[in-house]
Amino acid sequence: MTTTRRKKKDRVLVFDTTLRDGEQSPGASLDHREKVEIAHRLARMGVDIIEAGFPIASPGDFRAVHEIAQAVKGPVIAGLARCVEADIARCAEAVMPAKKPRIHVFLATSAIHRKYKLRKARAEIIKHAVASVTFAKSFVDDVEFSPEDASRTEPDFLAEVVEAAIDAGATTINVPDTVGYTMPDEFSRLIGELYESVPNIHDAVISVHCHNDLGLAVANSLASLQAGARQVECTMNGLGERAGNAALEEIVMTLQTRNDVYGPLWTNIKAESLVPISRLVSRLTGMPVQRNKAIVGANAFAHSSGVHQDGVIKERSTYEIIDPAAVGCHDGTDLVLSKLSGKNGLRQALSRVGVTLDSEELAEVYKRFVDLADKKKVIYDDDLLLLASEQMSDTATIYSLEGMQVTAGSSTIPTATVKLRKGEEVLQEAACGDGPVDAACRAIDRMTKVSGRLLDYSLQAVTVGKDAMGEVSLRVAFDDQTVSAKAASTDIVEASAKAYLSCVNRLLSNPGAGGGKVPKRKTP
């Protein structure tokens, strides 16, 4: 897509909510340091607005939003708040350090939400929305208002709410398809009707936030842009509640690739950053990207058919509508490292995959890098991402794994002997279990005096070769709290034990952060 003669009115603002709605994906897990790292990368990619979190939800969310507001320059930094004064005040406190702070407030408007959730009449909803926007406006100039479940709200009432919110000072009106129910033509018509029926509509930016319950989040987002919306809310890799949100990479590349359809619409996104950031988000959240995912999946530019291969060899455009290099997919460009590589080579390789570490952190990663290089002949980019993600965790290391020995077999009772360090004290226990992983977890339970119940376990090979690193992602219940963690190793039992121990450390170092006592999130 040509970059000449771009007009401001045709610019599509990219509102990234990976760190808020994306983190709400079941199984996703990010601590504050990981969120800050992703935010820096999003800023460098050209995202216009970063929704950094939901500050009232937990001390951890508040800390992440506050630190991103302090550290990340360039984009608007937004926080989410219900139309509740305590939420709004907490959100204001979190985003205030930002050069461009935004408070994003939301209130349900559909008939089904009014009847069953809020138990409020139309007039009460409008009054409440106006009061909340006005209160948010007392803290910041930039206020976004979302009528939750807008796509199932009566069009005439939606227009009333939107007009009232703009009159109260909202600078952005977001129209969410909260449950992913709408069809593209319906959503396009809804946006068009707002432009026709709301007299002050041009005093605010019209945004959309589409969920993917029917697989139409990207299609609905694009349809709304054709109808006049100029901000799109999306996430890397399409992460989000339930089936996810509109995928940022798909929207950006559709606008760029099919400018014959979408005309002069453009974004400020540096497309060559898409694949590297996709991989970083996948590693840090523990949410793998499906191989056939558009734009960023491992198979997105793979060709197995002989006919396709022949065509691509002769002329790439026969079967590829996007140049892989344009989105940051460079076959064969992994910087091959070995145990002889120095810290500078490691630093450069980490920088290229999107990770920045200070000198102390680099030194710690280098130690683990050398240990890994002793086990593997070649270190790939994905190995580096795993090493760095472990270092970026801000969980206090109360217990660390010193070593373990496992006995298992078809005619042997699985037994694990695990050695942990707690400060200067070294602990050792043995336990039997249904398998080697279960035995290792039981041994850890005995030493830590904490008993967890495994809710979810996933394992994936994240690098290539027979000595590939295996990454284990766990969700563990400790009474009324649920904690998630991940760890990697060339030994999957060791990776499992490290991930489980990380859950224990998170529970002990930050009681209440696991999710069991956090207010339930009801979001656009």
Q: Is 14 helix (H, G, I), strand (E, B) or coil?
A: strand
Report pLDDT digits (tens) over 90-124: 999 999 999 999 999 999 999 999 999 999 999 99
**What's the pLDDT at 415?**
96
The CA distance from 108 to 471, in Å, is: 39
Strand partners, 53: 79
Beta strands 101-108 and 76-82, pairing class: parallel
The CA distance from 363 to 368, in Å, is: 9
- Measured over the CA atoms of residue 302, residue 308, residue 310 and residue 313, the dihedral's sign is negative
CATH for the 400-509 domain, from 3.30.160.270, 3.40.1350.10, 3.65.10.10, 1.20.1260.10: 3.30.160.270
In the chain, which residues fall in CATH 3.20.20.70? 12-285
**What's the pLDDT at 331?**
53
| pTM of the predicted model as reported, rounded to 2 decimal places | 0.80
The CA distance from 66 to 159, in Å, is: 34
Would you give the DSSP letter of residue 465? S
In the chain, which residues fall in CATH 3.30.160.270? 400-509
User: Which CATH architecture best describes the domain 12-285?
Assistant: Alpha-Beta Barrel (3.20)
What does the block give as tokens for 373?
């290089």
**What's the pLDDT at 1?**
44
What does the block give as tokens for 140?
């910041």
**What's the pLDDT at 519?**
35
Cβ neighbours of residue 94 closer than 8 Å, sequence gap 6 or more: 52, 53, 55, 62, 65, 66, 69, 79
**What's the pLDDT at 333?**
42
Torsion of CA 79, 82, 86, 89, to 10 degrees: 30
Q: Which residues of the chain have pLDDT under 50?
A: 1-3, 332-335, 513-522
Cβ neighbours of residue 464 closer than 8 Å, sequence gap 6 or more: 380
